[in-house]
Structure 1
Amino acid sequence: MNSKNPFFKSDTFSSNKVHDAVIMDMDQTMTVAGTINKSFILLLLLVLGAFGTWNMVSNAQNPMIFTIGGAIVGFILVLITSFKPHLSSYLSPAYAVCEGLFIGGISAILDQVYPGIVIQAVSCTFVTFLVCLGLYKFKIVQVTERFRSIVIAATAAIAIYYFFSWVLTFFISFQPIHHGNSMASIGISLFVIVIAALNLFLDFDQIEEGAAQRAPKYMEWYGAMGLMITLVWLYVEFLRLLSKLSKR
């Protein structure tokens, strides 16, 4: 069992491994540095996409079509890429733009209701990423099989809870516990943020494993896209938590 991301399945990098007898040139194989560079490119594209829907809100335009559309198209691109990793060099930039449209729309709307919430959420996400990266780099936190299994089990439980809570709202008058600003709701948000952060360790580990196994060069885009998925999830959960705290 590996990362919550469909990108970081246990056999993804090994099945796309480049055989040493065929390719020895490091320019044609996956590296950690190359994945980092691709991650920065995707982040830039995400910010550009977010600026588009953010600017629409600033100009008193309704961004919901692009916001919802970006989320749907982004999800479809994730599914396609998870089954077709060799297309990641083309689909991951498109995913970043679409996810940017989604992020920009919800961020702009929430920032009008709770001024300053976006800066706080971005700061929290950035600090969390740096802390997790430092803990992983200096081997303070090591990704063992037990650690991996616990994180995946917790992530799966969260996904199942969110899904069934959403489905129940269509059939009965039901308000999920994580809605509202009660202490229980805030507690759930904190738990989800912790699990999202722990997924970063799995992502770092799988990227290093892909580089060690000499996966083909396009897997750098694949790894960068998977890491971006976790960061977007973490950012959205911080937005959710901060909005609950602002209501109180």
Structure 2
Amino acid sequence: MRSSNPVMNSLSTPTNSQQSGTPQGYQDPYAAYGQTPAQQAGDRPMTVDDVVTKTGITLGVIVVFAIVNFVISLSNPGLAMTLTMVGAIGGLITVLVATFGKKYGSAAVTLIYAAFEGLFVGGISVMFSGMLVGDSDAGALIGQAVLGTVGVFLGMLFVYKTGAVKVTPKFNRIVTGAIIGVLVLSVGNLLLAMFTGSNPLRDGGILAIIFSIVCIGLAAVSFLSDFDMADKMIRAGAPSKMAWGVALGLSVTLVWLYTEILRLLSYFRSN
């Protein structure tokens, strides 16, 4: 089972010791007799309710910390921007730990990511909306971005449930390749901005608008891979603790989508 989301990919490649809950190298002679991964790990199988509950908790933590940093920005913009940077860096490190450290079943890792990402979302919302310069439409802009994010999420869930788009290994490879391409372009644009001051992909021009639309589209189709991965894990009887990993993967995509929608709306308002 593969996904375009790197966090979700780590869910599908656990080690033998993680699957069975036994020391490395130990072979259970009875493990092959009809036991699900959850039974081998001494846990109950994951359900849709587990995914919904854990994702809801994770998003709730993100929202709370976003509001905290948003309120701080109104009285102390400097501190808020510092917290935003801490959130961005901390969130990235947490995702890397979850992906490469195989911490996909850890509630602590997921909630730590949510706290960091909440600080980032709160600060970036203030920056993109123009709240710091007294823009009276800032609240409306943020509200539109939230509604857009929820709308895209529900729309892609409907597309997946109806089977309008089939998630195949080829589909996942194409989406993964596109995301890697966007990441390379983003890093290149960042380096260009640092050394030359030119920022063509993020300056609000035509190219920047097109780039944001592409990012929004990729984030949207990434949900299909995320939903498919969660569905397959539930059907395979994965341990319930893995729902925290699913929540982390979905939250990563949701935050990316929200950020790009808010950025795009800020371009149109500025223009």
Structure-2-length-normalised TM-score: 0.83
* Residue-by-residue CA offset, 1:42-67 (whole Å, 9 max, x unaligned): 01111110011011122344301111
**Kept in 1: contact 2:55–2:251 (CA 8 A):** yes
Cross-structure match for 1:21: 35
Residue equivalent to 1:110: 128
> 2:86 is matched with which residue: 69, 74, 78?
69
Amino acid at match of 1:155: I
Amino acid at match of 1:33: D
Aligned pairs, number: 247
Matches within 5 A, 1:89-168: 89-111=107-129, 112=131, 113=135, 114-115=137-138, 116-168=140-192
- The reply on whether 1:84 has 2:98 as its aligned counterpart is no
Q: Deviations over 1:124-167 (max 9, x none)?
A: 00000000000101111210222222211111100111012212
Cα distance in 1 for residues equivalent to 2:41 and 2:95: 29
User: In the TM superposition, what is the alpha-carbon distance from 1:168 to its structure 2 partner?
Assistant: 3.0
For 1:41 and 1:103, the matched residues in 2 are separated by 16
Q: Which segment drifts farther, 205-214 or 191-200?
A: 205-214
Consecutive unaligned residues in structure 1, runs of 5 or more: none
- Cα distance in structure 2, aligned partners of 1:25 and 1:11: 15
Does the Cα contact within 8 Å between 1:14 and 1:215 map onto a contact in 2? no
* 8 Å contact kept, 1:49–1:100: yes
Aligned 8 A contact 2:2 2:12 in 1: no
Of 171, 176, 179, which residue of structure 1 is paired with 2:199?
176
Q: Once the 2 structures are TM-superposed, how far is the Cα of residue 218 of structure 1 from its aligned partner? A: 1.6
Q: Which residue of 2 aligns with 1:7?
A: 7
Report the CA distance between 1:97 and its aligned residue. Answer: 1.2
Shift of 1:87: 5.3
Q: For residue 50 of structure 1, what is the amino acid of its counterpart?
A: A
Read off the aligned partner of 1:78 and give its amino acid letter.
V
Please tell me whether the aligned partners of residues 50 and 104 of structure 1 are also in contact (alpha carbons under 8 angstroms): yes
Larger radius of gyration: 2
Distance 1:38 1:10, change over 3 A: closer
TM-score by length of 1: 0.91
Counterpart in the other structure of 1:37:
53
SS at match of 1:117: helix
CA shift, 1:79, in A, is: 1.1
Tell me how far 1:73 sits from its aligned partner: 1.1
Counterpart in 2 of 1:199? Answer: 222
Deviation at 1:68, TM superposition (A): 0.7
**Are the structure 2 counterparts of residues 109 and 182 from structure 1 closer, same or farther at C-alpha, using a change threshold of 3 Å?**
closer
RMSD: 2.3
Does residue 223 of structure 1 match 2:246? yes
Q: Residues 67 and 197 from structure 1, CA distance in 2 versus in 1: closer, same or farther, beyond 3 angstroms?
A: same
Partner residue in 2 for 1:237:
260
Bigger mean CA deviation after superposition, 158-167 or 23-32: 23-32
Asked whether 1:210 is paired with 2:233, we answer yes
